[in-house]
Amino acid sequence: MPHQLETERLILRPFTPDDIPAAYPLVELYYKLGRAYWGQGYAFEAAVALRYFAFEDMRLHRIVTIADAANGRSLALMRRLGMTLEPAPPSWAGEMMGTVVNPKMRD
């Protein structure tokens, strides 16, 4: 299991090659920050580093993330990361999905 940092205020768990499905190389970016850490750029910095790792080192095709449609901060972060936002499937009522494709693997 990869190293996982989890406190009352912050959770960060990087992905490993074992997390990647062979048939469709993508990962979900998941983050959760305690309120004291909001608006300080931590989520953005971590996500940029993970995006680089996913695309450059792991050569993954895409990264996805899910957020509550009412969570403006998460949606803004997704946009800053260059993600395309779209409603998640109807069974995930009220959720938005962000996707960014590795620019080196676009058709």
pLDDT digits (tens, 9 = 90+) for 53-107: 889 988 888 899 999 999 999 999 999 999 999 998 888 889 999 999 999 987 6
CATH number for the region 5-105 comes to 3.40.630.30
pLDDT digits (tens, 9 = 90+) for 8-28: 555 555 555 566 656 566 778
Domain positions in the chain are 5-105
Output the CA–CA distances (angstroms, integers) from residue 15 to 48, 75, 76, 86, 106, in the order listed.
14, 22, 23, 24, 22
Burial class from Cβ neighbours inside 10 Å (0-12, 13-18, 19+) for residue 26 reads middle
End-to-end CA distance of the chain: 34
Q: How high is the pLDDT of residue 81? A: 94
Tell me the whole-structure pTM to 2 decimals.
Answer: 0.75
- Does residue 63 contact residue 25 with C-beta atoms inside 8 Å? no
pLDDT digits (tens, 9 = 90+) for 86-95: 998 888 889 9
Determine the average pLDDT of the residues in 33-61: 88
Token pair 């800053």 in the structure block, residue: 80
Determine the average pLDDT of the residues in 26-54: 86
- Does residue 27 contact residue 63 with C-beta atoms inside 8 Å? yes
